[in-house]
Chains A and B, each alone.
Chain A
Amino acid sequence: MTELVVRAADTQSGATRAWARFDLSGSAGEFTVWLVPALIIVSWQAACSLGLVADSVMPSPAAVLAAGRHLTVSGELPRNVGISFLRAIAGLAVGGGIGFTLGLANGWSKISDRITDSTLQMIRNVPHLALIPLVILWFGIDEGAKLFLVALGVFFPIYINTLHGVRTIDTQLIEMAESYGMDSRALFRHVVLPGALPSIFVGLRYALGIMWLTLIVAETIAAQSGVGYMAMQAREFMQTDVVVLSILIYALLGKLADTTARALERASLSWHPAFQKK
C-alpha cells in the first residue's frame, strides 16, 4: 500500500514542480511542452515520405490523418470514441465512488477498517486483468464486463489514497476543531475532507491511467464497439493507419483526462502553497 502511495505522491510532486516552471515561463513555456511531440511527428512524416519505413509497418501521419477524416465522415469514429468515453466515465464513477466512500469510512472509523480493510488488501494483490476469463464467463462480452473491470481497476488507487489522506490529517487540527465546538458533520466537511483532498487527487490521477489501460485491454479482447474494437477490426483487414489512429486517440483521451484532473486539482487546492501563483 505504502509503495503505491509513495509512487503516486512522487509523480504529483514532480508534476507540481513542472507547473511552477510553467507559470513562470508563460506562453514560451506552453510552446516548449509541445516542441518534442511536434519534432517526433515531423521526423515520422519525413521517414515515411522518404520511403525509409514501409506503409504497412508504419503509415505516415498524413495517412493516419486521412483515415481519421474518413472515419469521422462515416460516423464510425465519433460513435466508437463516444462509447469508449462513456464506458470509462461509468467505470470511474462506480469504482471511484465506492473506493472514495470506503476510504473515508475506513480512515475515519476503526470498526469499519477492521471489518473491510484486510479483505480489500487481499483482493488488491490480484491483478484485476487476471479476472478477464472469469468476467467473460460471468458477463459475456456486454457492457457489464467492461464496467466491472474498469470499476475494479480504479477502485484501489482511489481507495488507498483516500484512506491515506484521511489517516494523515493533522490530529492537532482535529483536536482544535473539537475543542472549538465542531460537531462531527462540520468536522468532516471543514477539516477531514479538505485535509484529505490533496491525497485524493493523487489517487484520482493514478486511477485515470488505470482506467484507460483497463478499457483498452477489455475492448481489444471482448467488445463489439469502442476504440479498442475499432483497432482490432482494422488489424483483421491490415489497416495499419486505423490501428495507429486508435492508439493516438487513446493517448489524446488520456491526456484530456489528466488535464481535466489537474485543472480540478488546481481549482480546489488553491490554498495549497504548491498551487499558489508566485
Chain B
Amino acid sequence: MTVQVPVSAWSVFDPESRASRVTGTSVTVRGLAKSFGETRVLHGLDLRAAAGQFLAVVGRSGCGKSTLLRLLAGIDQPDTGRISFGDYPAAQARELARLMFQEPRLLPWASVLANVEVGLGPERGAAGARERALAALYSVGLADRAGDWPSVLSGGQKQRVALARALVSRPCLLALDEPLGALDALTRIEMQQLLEAVWQKERFTAILVTHDVVEAVMLADRILLLEHGAVARDISVDLPRPRQRGSAAAGRLEERILRHLLRADRREAQ
C-alpha cells in the first residue's frame, strides 16, 4: 500500500521551520520521593534539564529509573516532591509529556495508522488527525505500512510505530523507558540514529532511561547516574554530533561511567 503524505503535513516535521525555536520544556524535579509499600524507590531526587536537552539516566536494575519516568509522565503520583515543566501549569503534564515504553504496546486490533493516532490523545478525532499521524509515520520511515496490522511488523518496526505515536502530539518532553532494550544490536543502532535525528529536528526535551552505557554516551548531552533512588553523578557529554561510534573519547567516557557503576556495586557488596 502506498500512502500519499500531503504537502501541508510535511511542514510539521520540516527542519527548516523548526530549527529556529525549541519546542522542549525545561524540567525541574525537587525532592521527589516514592515508595511502594515498604520499599523506598526514590527519595529526595533532584533533577534539572534545560529545554531541548537530551538526558540519559543510567543505573542498575531497581534503582528507580522507571519509577522516575512514570512520575514524569504523570502515570503515577509522587509521595512528596515537585515536578515542574518550565512555565506550564503542573496539571498539563499529561499533554506535555509522552512516555515511550519498554514494549511497543500497540493495539493489535488497530492499523498502524490508527495506532499512531492514539498518540494525539483527545485530538484523535479532530480534522487533520490522519494527516498528522501519516506525517509522524513518514518521519520514522514507515508511511508505506500505514494500513498494516501491527502483528506483521518486526520488533524494530513496532518500536518505530511507538515512537511515531509518542511524537505525533509534538510533546515538550519525551520520556523513554529503555525502548530499545529488546531489539537486536543492528536494529538498535538504527533506532538510536533515528531517535537522534528526530530529536534534532523537533528539539523536544528527552529523558532516556537505559542500561546501555554506550547508548547513553552516543545520544545524551548529560548522563545521570542513579543510585538508591537519588542522583549519584551528573556527567556532561561534550562530544560533537554526529558522534563517532567507538571513538577514543567516547570510549574513555564509557569506561569512566562503567567504573563508577561497578564501584557502587562493590560498595554495596561489602
Q: Which residues of chain B are within 8 angstroms of A182 by Cβ–Cβ distance?
A: 118, 121
CB distance from B242 to the nearest CB of A (A): 31
The one of A178, A183, A195 in contact with B109, judged by C-beta atoms closer than 8 angstroms, is A195
C-alpha spacing A197/B118, complex, angstroms: 20
B221 at the interface (CB under 8 A from A): no
A173 touches B105 (CB 8 A): yes
B109 x A271 contact (CB < 8 A): yes
A109 within 8 A of B: no
A172 at the interface (CB under 8 A from B): yes
The verdict on B94 contacting chain A, using a C-beta distance below 8 Å, is yes
Which one, B46-54, B95-103, B131-139, is touching chain A? B95-103
A179 engages B75 (CB within 8 Å)? yes
The answer to the question of B228 belonging to the interface, with a C-beta cut-off of 8 Å to chain A, is no
Report B-chain residues with C-beta under 8 Å of the C-beta of A179.
Answer: 73-75, 94, 99
Of A38-46, A186-194, A214-222, A233-241, the stretch lying at the interface with chain B is: A186-194
Interface centre among B105, B109, B119, B122 (most CB of A within 10 A): B109
CB pair B107–A180 under 8 Å, yes or no, is: no
B127 CB to closest chain A CB (Å) equals 17
- Asked whether, in the complex, the Cβ of B122 is within 8 Å of the Cβ of A181, the reply is yes
Assign chain B's interface to a size class. Answer: 20 to 34
A271 and B99 CA atoms in complex are apart in Å by 25
- Contact present for A272 and B108 (CB under 8 Å): yes
What is the chain A residue whose CB lies nearest that of B102? Answer: A172
A3 located at the interface, meaning its Cβ lies under 8 Å from any Cβ of chain B in the complex? no
Q: Are A181 and B107 closer than 8 Å at their CB atoms?
A: no
> In the complex, which residues of chain B have a beta carbon less than 8 angstroms from the beta carbon of A175?
75, 105
Q: Which residues of A contact B101 (CB under 8 A)?
A: 172, 176
B124 at the interface (CB under 8 A from A): yes
> In whole angstroms, how far apart are the Cα atoms of A180 and B124 in the complex?
10
B108 contacts which chain A residues (CB < 8 A)?
Answer: 271-272
Q: Measured between C-beta atoms, what is the minimum distance from A277 to chain B in Å?
A: 11
Cα distance, A176 to B151, chains bound together (Å): 18
Kindly count the residue-residue contacts between A and B in the assembled complex, taking CB atoms under 8 Å apart: 54
Cβ of B131 to closest chain A Cβ, rounded Å: 19
Q: Does the CB pair A180–B118 fall under 8 Å?
A: yes
Find the B residue at minimum CB distance from A191: B107
Selected contact of A181 from candidates B95, B149, B152, CB within 8 Å:
B95
- Is the CB of B110 closer than 8 A to any CB of chain A? yes
> How close is A273's CB to chain B, nearest CB, in angstroms?
5
Assess whether B170 is interfacial by the CB under 8 Å rule. no
A271–B149 alpha-carbon span in the complex (Å) = 6
A248 CB to nearest B CB, Å: 39
A194 CA to B103 CA in the complex, in Å?
Answer: 20
Which residues from chain B contact A186 at a C-beta distance below 8 Å? 124
Q: Does A276 contact B (CB under 8 A)?
A: yes
- Mask, B79-123, CB within 8 Å of A = 1, is 000000000000000110011010101011110000000110110
Contact indicator A180/B121 (Cβ below 8 Å)? yes
CA gap between A180 and B97 in the complex, in Å: 9
B110 contacts A276, C-beta separation under 8 Å: no
**Distance A177 CA – B99 CA, assembled complex (angstroms):** 11
Cβ-closest chain A residue relative to B151: A273
Residue of A180, A182, A190, A272 with most partner-chain B CB within 10 A: A180
Query: 0/1 per residue, A237-259, Cβ < 8 Å to B?
Result: 00000000000000000000000
| A183 CB, nearest partner CB in chain B, Å | 7
- The CA of A173 and the CA of B108, in the complex, are separated in Å by 10
Pair A172/B121 contact, Cβ less than 8 Å = no
Known: A182-B118, A182-B121. 10 other contacts (CB 8 A): A172-B101, A175-B75, A178-B75, A181-B121, A181-B122, A190-B107, A194-B109, A195-B109, A272-B108, A276-B149
Identify 22 residue pairs between A and B in the complex whose beta-carbon atoms are under 8 Å apart, listed by A's number: A172-B103, A172-B105, A173-B105, A176-B101, A179-B75, A179-B99, A180-B98, A180-B118, A181-B94, A181-B122, A194-B107, A269-B109, A270-B149, A271-B108, A271-B109, A271-B110, A271-B149, A272-B108, A272-B151, A273-B151, A276-B149, A276-B151
Interface of A with B (CB < 8 Å)? 172-173, 175-183, 186, 190-191, 194-195, 197, 269-273, 276
